[in-house]
């Protein structure tokens, strides 16, 4: 009965596209992308990021769709159906662990975004200056009570939508709001183009200087690609399990990757135009978005209205992305463990709120747990680093290997071509080749080089 309800799925290809885009477009575009690009030197890093999307991200996304739509199951159930070998279950374990780790910090940042809507309405940003916005951000994260309360509000909103039935909720919300988000970001860019720092912002984003690129930076670019496209933890397996039999999975993957990248770049242009116009630091970290966008909209007609709209839409993007990662857990607990949907949502939300609070209270110099470090990183950073840069790429690597080497090729062809209805044999062959020989090798190289092993090997060989 429960299964039947889940297997209803999205009502059309368009709905599947918007829902998947709703998962991909989130705080990753609006908050993470600008500051990570800023910290890693701009254009050269971006080129590596694009390469990661094309050579690894897209093949992994199609593979996740394949796993999901073929099995119509949650991540653990799907893997069990594809192979009886126990070791592949690590994909399920990695996915579930990653979902928790990301939610611990992601819901905290979503809380800051929600709180900005409230603060802007209250007039806290009237007459904003570079100094005042920095102070506002420090106050927002310092807490200790408010950031936790906002994080709980985010989890409550997400839980209510999930309990009420994801399908209609997600489908309806994403279909109407994704286009609006897009339009708003364009408005934001039109304003940003009138700022004095716009030229510098373009050369920062589009004129590569490879001297800034490190092997750690390449790992970060790979991690960002996985995080951005919601890959490596089974989100796209879960959403793929909702797709209709007619859905063109290649088309959906390509459209999602392109739209997601465009949204990220548009946000990047707005943020960096403000950075260079107001003499801020491109590498100022997780606060970057919160310290720039209020300045972009300051002192222009309807600025306050636009600022509210921007943060409302950022809140929506954060919410739809959080729903998609939470759904990985809910699908797992309801299908594998037999829990009711309501119980799975509530218990998980409580656990995430509790552990997430430690992460949220570790941000900023004045916060309660700011001095606590694990392997030299704060609690927030360790969850972020472990999930984005380790768990997601490892999960993606294993899924690429599972589909590339374990699943029968004939079956992959049949599923991806919708039983031969789509005439895309060449595309499938190309995808299969990249998935088997290019994506896994690149992933392994990136890992080895980020832990310094590759440099040692090269030195050994070259003497």
Shortest reach from residue 144's CB to ligand PFF, in Å: 26
HSE-CB at 268 with a 13 A cutoff on CA atoms is: 28
User: Residue 275 corresponds to which tokens in the numbers above?
Assistant: 């950075």
In this chain, which residue has its C-beta nearest to ligand PFF? 28
* Binding flag, residue 103, ligand PFF (CB under 6 A): no
* Binding flag, residue 222, ligand PFF (CB under 6 A): no
Shortest reach from residue 417's CB to ligand PFF, in Å: 26
* Binding flag, residue 233, ligand PFF (CB under 6 A): yes
Residues in a beta bridge with 374: 377
Shortest reach from residue 303's CB to ligand PFF, in Å: 26
Single out the residue of 136, 324, 362, 389 in contact with ligand PFF (rule: CB under 6 A): 324
327 vs 335, beta carbon nearer ligand PFF: 327
Single out the residue of 9, 22, 28, 287 in contact with ligand PFF (rule: CB under 6 A): 28
Shortest reach from residue 54's CB to ligand PFF, in Å: 17
* Binding flag, residue 289, ligand PFF (CB under 6 A): no
23 vs 315, beta carbon nearer ligand PFF: 23
* Binding flag, residue 228, ligand PFF (CB under 6 A): yes
Single out the residue of 24, 76, 195, 221 in contact with ligand PFF (rule: CB under 6 A): 24
> CA quadruple 285, 140, 200, 314: dihedral positive or negative?
positive
E strand segments, 103-204: none
Shortest reach from residue 423's CB to ligand PFF, in Å: 31
Q: What is the rounded CA–CA span in Å between residue 179 and residue 160? A: 24
27 vs 249, beta carbon nearer ligand PFF: 27
Q: What is the rounded CA–CA span in Å between residue 230 and residue 440? A: 18
Burial readout 231-260 (b: 16 or more C-beta within 10 A, e: otherwise): bbbbbbbbbbbbbeeebbbbebbeebbebb
* Binding flag, residue 252, ligand PFF (CB under 6 A): no
Q: Sketch the per residue contact string, 325 through 344, with ligand PFF: x for CB under 6 A, - otherwise.
A: x-------------------
Shortest reach from residue 408's CB to ligand PFF, in Å: 27
> CA quadruple 212, 218, 219, 223: dihedral positive or negative?
positive
* Binding flag, residue 78, ligand PFF (CB under 6 A): no
Which pairs with CB-CB distance under 8 Å and at least 24 residues apart come from 439-442?
439/55, 439/56, 439/59, 439/60, 439/396, 439/397, 439/400, 439/404, 440/397, 440/400, 440/401, 440/404, 442/52, 442/55, 442/56
Single out the residue of 105, 227, 311, 380 in contact with ligand PFF (rule: CB under 6 A): 227
Element (H, E) at 373: strand 373-374
Q: What is the rounded CA–CA span in Å between residue 36 and residue 385? A: 12
Binding site for ligand PFF (CB under 6 A): 23-24, 26-29, 102, 227-228, 230, 233, 235, 321, 324-325
């Amino acid at each position: 009965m429960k299964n039947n309800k889940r297997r209803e799925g999205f009502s059309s290809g368009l709905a599947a596209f918007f829902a998947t885009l709703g998962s991909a477009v989130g705080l990753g575009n609006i908050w993470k992308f600008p500051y990570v690009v800023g910290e890693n030197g701009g254009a050269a890093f971006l080129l590596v990021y694009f390469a990661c999307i094309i050579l690894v991200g897209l093949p992994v996304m199609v593979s996740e769709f394949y796993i999901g739509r073929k099995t119509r199951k949650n991540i653990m159930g799907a893997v069990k159906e594809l192979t009886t070998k126990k070791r592949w279950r690590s994909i399920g374990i990695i996915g579930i662990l990653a979902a928790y780790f990301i939610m611990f910090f992601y819901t905290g940042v979503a809380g800051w975004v929600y709180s900005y809507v409230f603060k802007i309405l209250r007039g806290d940003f009237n007459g904003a200056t570079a100094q005042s916005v920095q102070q506002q951000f420090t106050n927002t994260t310092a807490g200790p009570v408010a950031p936790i309360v906002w994080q709980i509000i985010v989890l409550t909103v997400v839980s209510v939508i999930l309990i009420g039935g994801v399908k209609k909720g997600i489908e309806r919300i994403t279909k109407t709001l994704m286009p609006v988000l897009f339009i708003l970001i364009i408005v934001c860019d039109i304003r940003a183009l009138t700022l004095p720092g716009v030229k510098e912002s373009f050369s920062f984003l589009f004129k590569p200087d490879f001297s800034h690129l490190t092997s750690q930076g390449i790992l970060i670019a790979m991690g960002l690609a996985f995080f951005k496209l919601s890959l490596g933890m089974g989100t796209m397996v879960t959403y793929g399990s909702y797709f209709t039999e007619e859905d063109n999975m290649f088309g959906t993957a390509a459209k999602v990757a392109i739209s997601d990248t465009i949204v990220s770049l548009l946000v990047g242009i707005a943020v960096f135009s403000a950075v260079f116009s107001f003499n801020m630091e491109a590498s100022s970290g997780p606060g970057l978005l919160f310290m720039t966008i209020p300045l972009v909209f300051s002192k222009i007609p309807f600025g306050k209205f636009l600022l509210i709209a921007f943060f409302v839409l950022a809140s929506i993007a954060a919410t739809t992305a959080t729903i998609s990662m939470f759904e990985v857990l809910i699908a797992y607990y309801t299908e594998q463990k037999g829990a009711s949907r309501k119980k799975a949502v509530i218990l998980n939300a409580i656990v995430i709120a509790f552990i997430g609070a430690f992460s949220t209270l570790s941000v900023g110099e004045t916060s309660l747990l700011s001095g606590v470090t694990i392997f030299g990183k704060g609690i927030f950073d360790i969850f972020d680093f472990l999930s984005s840069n380790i768990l997601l790429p490892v999960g993606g690597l294993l899924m690429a290997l599972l589909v590339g080497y374990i699943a029968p090729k004939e079956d992959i062809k049949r599923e991806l071509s919708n039983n031969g209805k789509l005439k895309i044999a060449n595309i499938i062959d190309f995808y299969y080749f990249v998935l088997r020989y290019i994506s896994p090798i690149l992933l392994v190289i990136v890992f080895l080089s980020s832990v310094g092993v590759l440099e040692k090997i090269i030195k050994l060989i070259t003497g």
